[in-house]
Amino acid sequence: MELGVVGLGRMGRIVVDRVLEAGHDVVAFDVDPDAVEDAAAAGATPAESLDEFAESLGGAGEAKRIWLMVPAGDPVDAALDELEPHLSADDVVVDGGNSHFEDSVRRAEACPARYLDCGTSGGPAGADLGFSLMVGGPADAYDELVPVFDAVATGPAGHDRMGPAGSGHYVKMVHNGVEYALMQAYGEGFELLHEGRYDLDLEAVARTWNNGAVIRSWLLELCEEAFREEGTDLGDVADHVAGGSTGTWTVQEALEREVAVPLIYQALGERFDSRAEAKFSRRLANRLRYGFGRHEVERE
Ligand SMILES: NC(=O)C1=CN([C@@H]2O[C@H](COP(=O)(O)OP(=O)(O)OC[C@H]3O[C@@H](n4cnc5c(N)ncnc54)[C@H](O)[C@@H]3O)[C@@H](O)[C@H]2O)C=CC1
Ligand SMILES: O=C(CO)[C@H](O)[C@H](O)COP(=O)(O)O
């Protein structure tokens, strides 16, 4: 099978390598010419523009199969706008990025090709193992791309069709909400151990938990790695956490559906808080205690 890959960054490059390794052909494009050159060195056919990319796919009347792995939002629309004149109903476009599910539904309706929204989990660290793929969109397009999904995922069990357009990215959005809550839970547990009554080696704790404990997981293996590489105090790692868009979407959706997701909401709030220089609400509480109780105001 032949696959065109647009976006050759941390994730797209893994798609290229795994698809090539499975014996398929890859045509590769990125706005960064160095990324195209690297993919060509790995065995992909390079394209210098999206026009050249689209024209070199689907020779002899064959359908085009395209995997987008670009940042969510405008880059997806920009790539689709340029590809549109080259696409027909037999072709398949997969968006493997973290797009909002409503954008995916809109794009599926507008795209001349069959459109699959594919939530991708595993991250660059999952390059060797393969990803977990949550796919939404038409069943015939999904079935046609099974050889590609087998290659990019951990194997046949690492991908499935979730349902119609949008469902793949919907499931991935909720996955990320769960990711936030799990990170928060591990963070709180290790914080208590760090501040607690015993002088503990947190790498040893994580390693012990990872071997047979109820709470073992890949995130916990990453905790073990973090303590091993940074030290039990986490060295100079700052208490600022970036990101937040997929968690925000999860909470927005939960509010709209009237589903309580307090842990995910709390984890998202903690992430936002981590970025605040000084919390206005805490400063006001400090001053209010003087207001009602004449308690001393602590000043900077
Ligand atoms: N890094 C991660 O852990 C994960 C990322 N994702 C999602 O996968 C997508 C890609 O993520 P990364 O590979 O980490 O990003 P990245 O920033 O490493 O790579 C993005 C690539 O897309 C290229 N690009 C941007 N606009 C383009 C356009 N219009 N046409 C062609 N190429 C373009 C950039 O030059 C860059 O090489 C994002 O939607 C991200 O949210 C999903 C799961 C995990
Ligand atoms: O999808 C992912 C992991 O599953 C990406 O790493 C994503 O960037 C994580 O979300 P955030 O940037 O909000 O932490």
Q: CA-based angle 120:12:144, to the nearest 5?
A: 65
Q: Active-site residue 172, yes or no?
A: yes
> Does residue 139 carry a pLDDT above 90?
yes
Q: CA-based angle 108:111:114, to the nearest 5?
A: 70
Ligand nearest to the CA of 271: 2
pLDDT digits (tens, 9 = 90+) for 11-62: 999 999 999 999 999 999 999 999 999 999 999 999 999 999 999 998 777 8
Would you say the CB of residue 176 lies under 6 angstroms from ligand 2? yes
CA 143/CA 62 separation, integer angstroms:
16
Protein residue with least CA distance to atom 8, ligand 1: 97
CA 91/CA 112 separation, integer angstroms:
8
Tokens representing 105 are 């539904």
- Strand, helix or coil at 99? coil
Would you say the CB of residue 124 lies under 6 angstroms from ligand 2? no
Would you say the CB of residue 84 lies under 6 angstroms from ligand 2? no
Protein residue with least CA distance to atom 44, ligand 1: 123
Percentage of the residues of the chain whose pLDDT score is greater than 90: 96
Residue-level pLDDT at 138: 98
Alpha helices for 91-166 (secondary structure H): 101-110, 139-144, 146-152
pLDDT digits (tens, 9 = 90+) for 170-207: 999 999 999 999 999 999 999 999 999 999 999 999 99
Residue-level pLDDT at 60: 75
Percentage of the residues of the chain whose pLDDT score is greater than 70: 100
- Do the annotations mark residue 10 as ligand-binding? yes
Domains, the chain, with CATH or none: 2-163 (3.40.50.720), 172-293 (1.10.1040.10)
From the CA of 176, how far away is ligand 2's center (Å)? 7
Alpha helices for 218-259 (secondary structure H): 218-230, 245-256
Residue-level pLDDT at 95: 98
Assembly ipTM: 0.98
Edge-to-edge strand ranges of the sheet holding 2-6: 45-46, 25-29, 2-6, 65-68, 92-95, 114-121, 132-136, 159-163
